[in-house]
């Protein structure tokens, strides 16, 4: 979650003033990891700035962990989107974020003021060497920040960072009822690869889950 090797770029979106996502370098390490820095994406900043929103997309740091944990817990308690119904304990969340920073997995948070209102990450598959080019994407936004173009910018920023880190395929899963998310994922180039029938059960109700993937061209 936080150490000196974390990315330093940030994107600031504000009414009347557009910040920047600083350009950076990729430095390959001996274990074939990469020091990943997000790149500039001014076209996306402009689209959001016109809506009068004020928020920042920034690589996660250790001081964001409590806010990240709270945001995950809030979305989990909606019982509609995530693979769990409450956030993992804070110590597990802390380990998750710190491990991502140490392993240079792209993980960004959306800040409104100083509060975390969303997140997106791509976790590299380290189960076997033959899968190391793959990552799994997770994303969430608090309800009041949905439908404003923030999720699209957040995903593009995280996907760009994943490509820069050397990944060439990104997987995700989405519940069958979540038509808005499926539409967003398709618009970003994700394609359907499978349907897992009755994959989720919440409050006694079953729901299918779709597997989608984006392959770097």
Average pLDDT of the segment spanning 171-195: 98
Kindly report the CATH number assigned to the domain that includes residue 38: 3.40.630.30
Quick check: is 194 in a domain?
no
20 lies in which domain range? 11-172
Per-residue pLDDT at 73: 98
Question: pTM score, two decimals?
Answer: 0.79
How would you write the chain as a 3-class SS string? CCCCCCCCCCEEEECCEECCCCCCCCEECCCCCEECCCCCCHHHHHHHHCCCCCEEEEECCHHHHHHHHHHHHHHHCCCCCCCCCCCCCHHHHHHHHHHHHHHCCCEEEEEECCEEEEEEEEEECCCCHHHCCEEEEEEEECHHHCCCCHHHHHHHHHHHHHHHCCCCEEEEEEECCCHHHHHHHHHCCCEEEEEEEEEEEECCEEEEEEEEEEECC
Per-residue pLDDT at 54: 85
CB-based contact 159:122 (threshold 8 Å): yes
Quick check: is 1 in a domain?
no
CB-based contact 71:118 (threshold 8 Å): yes
Read off the pLDDT of residues 25-55 as tens digits, 9 standing for 90 and up.
222 333 333 445 444 333 333 334 435 668 9
Number of domains present in the structure of the chain: 1
Quick check: is 215 in a domain?
no
Quick check: is 141 in a domain?
yes
Which of 24-28, 151-155, 177-181, 196-200 has the lowest average pLDDT?
Answer: 24-28
Per-residue pLDDT at 19: 28
């Amino acid at each position: 979650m936080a150490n000196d090797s974390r990315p330093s770029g940030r994107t600031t979106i504000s009414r009347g003033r557009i910040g920047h996502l600083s350009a950076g370098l990729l430095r390959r390490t001996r274990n074939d990891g990469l020091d990943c820095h997000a790149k500039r994406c001014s076209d996306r900043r402009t689209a959001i700035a016109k809506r009068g929103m004020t928020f920042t997309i920034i690589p996660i740091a250790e001081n964001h962990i409590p806010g990240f944990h709270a945001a995950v817990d809030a979305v989990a308690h909606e019982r509609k989107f995530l693979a769990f119904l409450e956030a993992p304990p804070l110590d597990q969340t802390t380990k998750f974020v710190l491990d991502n920073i140490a392993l240079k997995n792209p993980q960004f948070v959306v800040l409104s003021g100083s509060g975390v209102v969303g997140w997106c990450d791509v976790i590299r598959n380290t189960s076997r060497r033959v899968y190391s080019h793959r990552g799994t994407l997770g994303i969430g936004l608090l309800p009041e920040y949905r439908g404003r173009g923030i999720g699209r910018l957040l995903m593009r920023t995280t996907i760009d960072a994943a490509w820069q880190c050397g990944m060439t395929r990104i997987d995700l899963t989405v519940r069958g009822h979540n038509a808005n998310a499926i539409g967003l994922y398709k618009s970003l180039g994700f394609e359907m690869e499978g349907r897992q029938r009755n994959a989720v059960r919440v409050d006694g109700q079953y729901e299918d889950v779709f597997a989608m993937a984006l392959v770097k061209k």
